[in-house]
Amino acid sequence: QSALTQPASVSGSPGQSITISCTATSSDVGDYNYVSWYQQHPGKAPKLMIYEVTNRPSGVSNRFSGSKTGDTASLTISGLQADDEADYYCCSYTISATLVFGTGTKVTVL
Amino acid sequence: QVHLVQSGAEVKKPGASVKVSCKASGYTFTGYYIHWVRQAPGQGLEWMGWINPNSGGTNYAQNFQDWVTMTRDASISTAQMELRSLRSNDTAMYYCAKSSGRGVIDLESWGQGTLVTVSS
């Protein structure tokens, strides 16, 4: 049972914005300030999209943004495109210097 | 350019051990942590642990502490993950991933994955 809960699926039409939530259900994540997000297309390795809650690595589209309110972190994808259809995982650093992944969310572009 | 190249697919019998390697290039191997993550078929990502390639220090997820060992050979920029006493539910894709310069908090670059199949 993961310490991070995500919705199983989220969908949207091209051009729309969608938001994926990631709720911490355990105090193991501490202040929850080290949340990262990963995109995974079928049959591919995951790709880092957001780090430290809000920061985008070089090369990641600015259509992807991260935020946090209390125990819930969120990934927003604006201007949804067909290639955004993938699985998305949140991940948090814990007080034991380990990492824990969220349950994963399948994004469907209608 | 960072590259992590993993060893090839493995088929093992229950009770056996498997060792997966991850050869790094394009950066200073000893400067960044290496993590291991697995993904069972149709399932989500599961973090297994990390190794500090400089010191050899490790930190394993509680679920794996008694049956995983992570090592490195800095002379050939290679990290290895050994899983013992394999069971059928260890069938999964195993990934190595390199941390960013921000410590162990995120996984900046990933290997291509190694499929381990456990079957009698």
Taking only the tens place, the pLDDT of each residue in B26-55 is 999 999 999 999 999 999 999 999 999 999
Q: Please count the other Cβ atoms lying within 10 Å of the Cβ belonging to residue A43.
A: 7
Beta strand ranges found along chain B (DSSP E): 3-6, 10-12, 18-25, 34-39, 45-51, 58-60, 68-73, 78-83, 92-99, 107-110, 114-118
pLDDT tens, per residue, chain A with 110 residues: 678 999 999 999 999 999 999 999 888 887 888 999 999 999 999 999 999 999 999 999 999 999 999 999 999 999 999 999 999 999 999 999 999 999 999 999 99
Residues in B whose CB is inside 8 Å of some CB of A read 35, 37, 44-47, 49-50, 59, 61, 95, 97, 100, 102, 104-108, 110-113
Q: Are strands B45-51 and B34-39 parallel, antiparallel or unpaired?
A: antiparallel
- Which residue in chain A has the smallest CA separation from B46? A101
Give the closest of A52, A89, A99 to B44, CB-based.
Answer: A89
Q: B118, B91 in Cβ contact below 8 A?
A: yes
